[in-house]
Amino acid sequence: MRALHFIDAISDRVGKGIGWLLLVMTGLLVYAVILRYVFHNAPMWTHETSLFMYSAVGLLAGAYALLYKWHVRVDLVFERFSPRNQALLDVITTLLFFLPFCGLVGWFGLKFALRSMALGEISSSVWAPILWPVKMIIPIGALLLILQAVAKFIRDLYFVIYRRELS
């Protein structure tokens, strides 16, 4: 299905983009350490910016991890099931746990970000950046994870019903 491939492509591109963000964050941290220990002067913005980047990595990489089956599961038990029963277990856990959890994170994350935007919230640091763009990453990450979970759910359900992979 084209829609599933489109969702996969979004997850893949965002995940690869996050990989580049990790490189930028690493460079920023190296820069801050050099300034601190060599020149005894580290700008405040480097620490806070690296925290914002790290937050983005943690929140936006979930769909990429789900696409490539990197999320943690109890393989000791899961591997004992047949492929069809594994898919059935994934269908059940996606419906009962994964999607509701991601939906709640997205809903409350959106409320959290919109409130921050409405208040014009800024950081309490000397640099004082606005915070709503960073907080908006929470519902965006949840939405990406929901989309990828729905794509996986459709594939798993197809496998349970037809006993073959959905191409």
Q: pLDDT, tens digit, for every residue of 18-30?
A: 999 999 999 999 9
In this prediction, residue 114 carries a pLDDT of 98
In this prediction, residue 6 carries a pLDDT of 98
In this prediction, residue 75 carries a pLDDT of 79
Which one-letter amino acid corresponds to residue 68?
Y
State the Cα angle at 87 between 66 and 78, rounded to 5°.
80
Q: Decide if 96 contacts 54 (C-beta within 8 A).
A: no
Q: pLDDT, tens digit, for every residue of 1-11?
A: 899 999 999 99
The domain segmentation of the chain, as residue ranges, is 2-162
In this prediction, residue 78 carries a pLDDT of 87
Which one-letter amino acid corresponds to residue 45?
W
Q: Decide if 26 contacts 48 (C-beta within 8 A).
A: no
pTM: 0.92
Q: Decide if 35 contacts 42 (C-beta within 8 A).
A: yes
Q: pLDDT, tens digit, for every residue of 52-102?
A: 999 999 999 999 999 999 988 777 888 899 999 999 999 999 999 999 999
Phi, psi of 165 (to 5 degrees): -70, 145
Compute the distance between CA of residue 143 and CA of residue 138 in angstroms, rounded to an integer. Answer: 9
In this prediction, residue 77 carries a pLDDT of 84
Q: pLDDT, tens digit, for every residue of 91-132?
A: 999 999 999 999 999 999 999 999 999 999 999 998 999 999
Compute the distance between CA of residue 89 and CA of residue 128 in angstroms, rounded to an integer. Answer: 47
The pLDDT confidence band at residue 43, using thresholds 50, 70 and 90, is: confident
State the Cα angle at 50 between 46 and 56, rounded to 5°.
150
Quickly count helices (H) and strands (E) in the chain: 8, 0
